[in-house]
Amino acid sequence: MDGKVVQLVQGREKALEAEEPLEMLRRFAAFPEIQVIDLDAAMGRGANSELVRLLAGRAVIRVGGGVRSAERARELIDQKAHKVIVGTAAFGSDGPDERFLASICDAIGKDRVLIALDSKDGRIVVKGWRESTRFIAEDLVRALEPWCSGFLCTYVDREGMLAGTNLEWFRRLRAATDLELTAAGGITTMDEVCALLGMNVHAALGMAIYTGRLSLEALAKLASAS
């Protein structure tokens, strides 16, 4: 956001600003993939395109935020993003927006697409987690499989709160699909990280790293061993 690495609580209140992006990238060098969300693009107030390009030139990154068209997805790939995360625009009033998702797959290929299944109070939320839908993630995941290579699943109820995550929700999601899953939202302890890895679910970590609750050195050892 505004060219800085930030952490929000439940997508709203900015809880902290971290070190400048290239320094954070240096600290994260031991990890196979970095997740970058362009919050300005997600909120419709510009984009951090040059920063995305800079980070993508130095690491394997997956990028989300404001992907509302095939052109935007193609732009991120042209900026050297490894994968593109699609959220709000993937859903219509009746479920998956298959026409939109087909256009994204035609533009960049299914293997480069991840769909965000962000849930709060049991329902998928969109538009920066500010609007709730009537959809339940576990019920839609199979229908979305033709349009992506995996899912980013955020338990918004605990996002940024350092209060632990909902492992049972991730178990249900894991049972619902064979595609790649990445868990986010409230992951606070090494036990939670290990439990997720034991389910064959990746862990996306933010606040617990930025506040020092989790050791980068210990996480790097875990990543290299898994």
Longest Cα–Cα distance in the chain = 45
- pTM of the shown model: 0.93
Which residue ranges make up each domain of the chain?
A: 6-225
pLDDT higher than threshold 80 for residue 105: yes
Tokens of 133: 């839908």
pLDDT in tens, 158-214: 988 888 999 999 999 999 999 999 999 999 999 999 999 999 999 999 889 988 999
List phi, psi (to 5°) of 163: -115, 15
pLDDT in tens, 113-156: 999 999 999 999 988 788 899 999 999 999 999 999 999 999 99
- 80 three-state secondary structure: coil
CATH code 3.20.20.70 for 6-225: yes
In DSSP notation, 187-199 reads: --SHHHHHHHHHT
Q: Which amino acid is at 109?
A: G
Tokens of 178: 């064979």
Q: Using CA of residue 22, residue 28, residue 30, residue 34, what is the dihedral sign?
A: negative
Segment (H or E) for 165? none
| pLDDT of the residue at 161 | 83
Q: Which amino acid is at 36?
A: V
